[in-house]
A and B are shown apart, each in its own frame.
Chain A
Amino acid sequence: MNENETKDTFDKQAMLTNMADNVILPAYTSFKTSLDSLVTVYNTFKSTGSLTDFQLVKQKYSVAYLNYQRCDLFEMGPAEATIIRANFNVFPTDTAQIKSNISSGSYDLGVLSNIDAKGFPAIEFLLYGNNSTETDIIKSFTISPNRKQYVSNLLAEMVTKTNYVVSTWNASYRNTFVTSLGTDVGSSIGFLVNQINFELDYLKNAKIGIPLGKKSLGVPVPEACEAYYTSKSISYAKETLLLIENTYLGRSSSGSNGKGFDDYLAHLDIKYNGGSLNDAINAQFAIAKTKLNAIPNPLSTQVTSNGSTVDAAYAELVKLLVLLKTDMPSNLGVIITYQDGDGD
């Protein structure tokens, strides 16, 4: 008898349970709480128009956006059904479309043409503006009921969708999630691996690459940065990398580390370049974090003044992507696709 036969098989259900209960649900719950409190303070600001209340709105807005960053990866089940990512965080936001919506006062947030005139980036533009003083911004709200209403409508859409996601997870999807134990297209592990890669690709391309000019012949596009008006692009990029790492490790945002893909790969004793694949992935996470940490906020000025530092971080994200998109799925029997089809 070799040692393979005496060893227990990997408990995939335990991993998924950890993911659901310690990683995903707490992230959604914090986000929902912070979004609700943003709505509350915004409603107060709407009636008072005071500087204190406005500053409170901005503070709560930042907390809510940060908490959103911490669940952006989990676009599966109810979040996939409501298309959270494309409704909450399309950047750069279309300021002309926002202004035209506000001035006309009649718009349908559900249509595709408004996809980049809503969500967190649109609210950010309205709360922080472009080189305007707080007094000017507050005034723009107090004189325009349409503007006040616009932000209310944007928040309301996010609240509805978030409530749907959280309540569906609690009511039924958690159970579906932890009992789907395959690795095929549509299984929970299939979803997680694919979303880890989607998120990393999104970090590499949308959050870093495009501003850096990767799609514009090396000419930087500062205004394409996430959180352009609050200059938090790098903070959020780091947050996203941490989210990807946490999901890989099965670690909660508070830091308690349960069963994750690291344990799965280690259990199967997957090799890479003479060492273990898990070690290689962890090392690459560490390098990518270091390189990302070397970039100060805001990214919008760094892409022009400090391009090589940003490029160095980008290169490490590419290496991480290869490990997570090619080596991990190939060794776990997961197909990188959202498209089902027959194999050979």
Chain B
Amino acid sequence: MVTSKLNNFLFKQVNIAPLVVFRIAFGLLMFASITRFIIKGWVYKMYILPKMYFPFYGFEWVKPLSGMGMYIVFALLLISCLGIIFGLLYRYSAILFFVLFTYVELIDKTNYLNHYYFISLVSFLIIFIPANKNFSIDNKLFKRPEVTTVPYIFLFLLQLQMFAVYFFAGIAKLNYNWLFEALPLKIWLPAFSHYPVIGRFMEASWIAFLFSWFGCVYDLLIGFFLFNKRTVTIAYVFVIIFHVATATFFNIGMFPYIMMTITIVFFKEEFHIKLINFLKRITKYKYLATQAVPIPHKSFAYFFLCFFVIQFVLPFRYLLYDGKLFWTEQGYRFSWRVMLMEKAGTAFFYVKDATTNREVEVDNKEHLTYMQEKMMATQPDMMVDYAKYLKNYYLNKGFTSPKVRAQSFVTLNGSGSREFINDTIDLSAQNNSFLKNKSWIKNF
């Protein structure tokens, strides 16, 4: 009974137009984002300039390409975006985009952003979605009939992915500091006191509480209102308000624009049909015949069930570690914890030579980019990576069995800087691991 209802829900035929609109919108947004990334010189700053990289646990084998290599990767990313937009060799384009984008993100966790994680997941999903079966060059090229309806599951995957981002970002906000101290917004908002009209309120604590609670309630509920056809329009107004606000206050690049645009995947299909018909008219797009996409095998649904279950469980893995999550950051990434804390630190590294039993102090600037140093100073797993790099570096400089220790001072949500880690242990002898607690992080 339940199964048949679920079957009905997932495999009922719906119009393909929302998928086509999504394909084009996503492709265009990615093309713009990647162009912006290249123009800002970030390919060089993040993937060519650094002397060392901070790999993700389990992905230490992922390395940047040298010299022009990274530019070629980004050029291929742009080409794959065009393939997605125009539905040209669509599946190959989607695979290429997913693989290259994820590759770039895995090179250095310094650059980890939840937004990039989101893009990787979405680009994985679109590989399996028949978004090129209508209004595409593939149809023209291979003289395929135009598909008009598809099983709902394809659209549902995209909607569920968007829902997940909001909902888990909302769950993450359900903590004492966010709700009852209005932190970190109470720290961040006064910096905007020079803004016209609203600026004069920015130092008041009520505005920080208003933003905190609005953000939390918005994140938790917006997905439900978007899913409901009766409330989707008003929900979209809130989507615009929310993302315009975040774009105004925070340095989060393309993300608000990406979210505002692709949220239209929740719109009623009439909207998408009209849009696609309009595009077909102005491009004088002609097609031969029509057909429906066959219902995918059940295993398809099970596969994506696993995909989402893993995604939904990851945010809770922090419960397996000791200590306060925001302080230790063990299990912090891949959990939709977005703009959740104000954390900064300064770390001093010392390397001891066994022969002389004396130490040198490391000038971090000689080894790390500003961004890497800033990120490393508050993230214990990055300190381990850096210590191992330093050990190697000083071995090559002739040190005998170098030991690397660090003194680090971190402030969390305006707590005042305090010692972050045990400054006597040899960090280069520590290992990052999945789910193993780092006992050398001091208590908050």
Mark contacts of B197-238 with chain A using CB atoms, 8 A cut-off: 1 yes-contact digit, 0 otherwise.
Answer: 001111111100000000000000000000000000000000
* Chain B contacts with A in 174-216, Cβ cutoff 8 A: 187-188, 190-194, 199-206
| A326 & B206 in contact (Cβ 8 Å cutoff) | no
> Which residues from B are CB-within-8-Å of A271?
414, 416
Contacts A/B (CB < 8 Å), 7 sampled: A2-B204, A9-B202, A10-B190, A181-B194, A209-B361, A325-B346, A342-B253
B251 neighbours in A (Cβ, 8 Å): 184-185, 340, 342-343
**Least Cβ distance of A70 to chain B in Å?**
24
Q: Tell whether A327 pairs with B370 under 8 Å between CB atoms, given A218-B359, A342-B253.
A: no
A326 and B194 form a contact (CB under 8 A): no
Q: Give the nearest-CB partner of B199 in chain A.
A: A9
Q: Known contacts being A273-B416, A329-B344, is A339 close to B187, with CB within 8 Å?
A: no
Contact A5 B194 (CB under 8 A): no
Partner of A318, one of B114, B343, B348: B348
Contact of A339 among B45, B113, B250 (CB under 8 A): B45
CB distance from A186 to the nearest CB of B (A): 11
Which of A9, A215, A329 is the one whose CB lies under 8 Å from B193?
A: A9
On whether the beta carbons of B339 and A338 are closer than 8 Å, the reply is no
CB distance from B378 to the nearest CB of A (A): 9
B201: chain A residues within 8 A (beta carbon) = 5
User: Which listed residue, A218, A273, A322, A338, touches B370 by the CB 8 Å rule?
Assistant: A338
Determine if A343 and B414 form an interchain contact, defined as CB atoms under 8 angstroms apart.
no
The reply to whether A326 and B252 contact each other, CB–CB distance below 8 Å, is no
CB B74 to nearest CB in A, in angstroms, measures 16
| Contact flag A344-B363 (CB < 8 Å), given A322-B346, A326-B411, A339-B371 | no
Q: List the 3 closest pairs (A to B, CB-CB), nearest first.
A: A333-B191, A342-B253, A181-B194
Q: Check if B356 sits within 8 Å of A217, measured CB to CB.
A: yes
Does B161 sit at the interface, judged by CB under 8 A? no
Q: Is A295 an interface residue (CB 8 A)?
A: no
Q: Does B389 contact A (CB under 8 A)?
A: no
* Residues in B neighbouring A291, C-beta threshold 8 A: none
The chain A residue sitting closest to B191, CB to CB, is A333
CB distance from B307 to the nearest CB of A (A): 23
Query: Across the interface, do B115 and A342 meet the contact criterion of CB distance under 8 Å?
Result: yes
Dominant SS at the B interface?
mixed
Name the CB-closest residue of A to B417. Answer: A326
Contact partner of B191 (CB less than 8 A), chosen from A182, A273, A344, is A182
A331 to B369, CA, bound (A): 23
B42 at the interface (CB under 8 A from A): yes
Q: Does A242 contact B (CB under 8 A)?
A: no
Closest to B205 in A: A4
Q: How many residues of chain B have a CB within 8 Å of chain A?
A: 56
A342, B37: Cα distance in complex, Å = 10
Contact with A along B104-115 (1 / 0, CB 8 A): 000000010111
Q: How far is the CB of B165 from chain A (nearest CB, A)?
A: 12
Number of interface residues of A (CB under 8 A): 51
Q: Give Cα distance in the complex from A8 to B251, angstroms.
A: 26
Give B66 Cβ to nearest chain A Cβ, in Å.
21
Q: Which of A178-212 contact B (CB under 8 A)?
A: 181-185, 201, 205, 209
Q: Does A107 contact B (CB under 8 A)?
A: no
* B255 in contact with A326 (CB, 8 Å): no
> How many A-B contacts if CB must be within 8 Å?
126
Q: With A and B bound together, what is the CA distance between A341 and B343 in angstroms?
A: 17
The yes or no answer to A332 lying at the interface (CB within 8 A) is yes
**In the docked arrangement, what's the CA distance between A217 and B251, Å?**
41
Q: Verify if A12 is at the interface (C-beta below 8 Å from B).
A: yes
Residues of B within 8 A of A5 (CB): 201, 204, 206
Q: Within 8 Å of chain A (Cβ to Cβ): is B89? A: no
B250 partner, pick from A8, A216, A326, A343, beta carbons under 8 A: A343
Chain B residues with CB under 8 A of A185: 251
**A270-B414 contact in complex given A326-B345, A343-B339, C-beta closer than 8 Å:** yes
B329 at the binding interface (Cβ < 8 Å): no
Known: A214-B361, A326-B411; 4 extra A-B contacts, CB below 8 A, are A4-B204, A184-B251, A318-B348, A331-B411
Q: Quick one: CB contact mask for A302-323 with B, threshold 8 Å, 1 for yes?
A: 0000000000000000100111
Cβ contact within 8 Å between A182 and B194:
yes
What residue in chain B is nearest A2 (Cβ atoms)? B205
CB <8 Å contact, A330 and B344 = yes
User: B191 and A272: CB pair below 8 A?
Assistant: no
Chain A residues 85-143 with CB under 8 Å of chain B are none
Residue numbers in A under 8 Å from B414 (CB-CB): 270-271, 330-331
B353 in the interface (beta carbon within 8 A)? yes
With A216-B360, A327-B411: A2-B191 Cβ-Cβ less than 8 Å: no
> What's the minimum C-beta distance from B333 to chain A, rounded to whole angstroms?
10
| CA A144 to CA B111, docked complex, whole Å | 56
Determine which of B188, B200, B365, B374 lies in contact with A333 in the assembled complex, contact meaning CB atoms within 8 Å.
Answer: B188
- The distance in angstroms between the C-alpha atoms of A65 and B46, with both chains bound, is 38
Q: Does A290 touch B at the CB level, under 8 Å?
A: no
Candidates B338, B359, B363, B417; contact of A322 at CB < 8 Å: B417
- A201: B residues at CB distance < 8 A: 365
Q: Give A183 to B190 CA distance when docked, in angstroms.
A: 10
Q: Does A335 touch B at the CB level, under 8 Å?
A: yes
Q: Is B51 an interface residue (CB 8 A)?
A: no
Residues of A within 8 Å of B187, CB to CB, are 330-331, 333
Shortest C-beta distance, B210 to chain A (Å), equals: 13
Chain A residues in 8 Å Cβ range of B206: 2, 4-5
Asked if B5 is at the interface (CB within 8 A of a chain A CB), the reply is no
Docked complex Cα distance between A217 and B356 (Å): 8
A296→B347 CA distance, assembly (Å)? 30
Q: How far is the CA of A209 from the CA of B45 in the complex (A)?
A: 29
A63 contacts the other chain (Cβ, under 8 Å)? no
Find A341's partner among B111, B191, B409 (CB 8 Å cutoff).
B111
A334 closest partner in B (C-beta): B191
In the assembled complex, the Cα of A277 lies from the Cα of B415 at a distance in Å of 11
Chain B residue at minimum C-beta to C-beta distance from A184: B251
Q: Tell me which of B45, B203, B358, B369 contacts A4 (CB under 8 A).
A: B203
Q: Within the assembled complex, what's the spacing in Å between the Cα atoms of A321 and B363?
A: 14
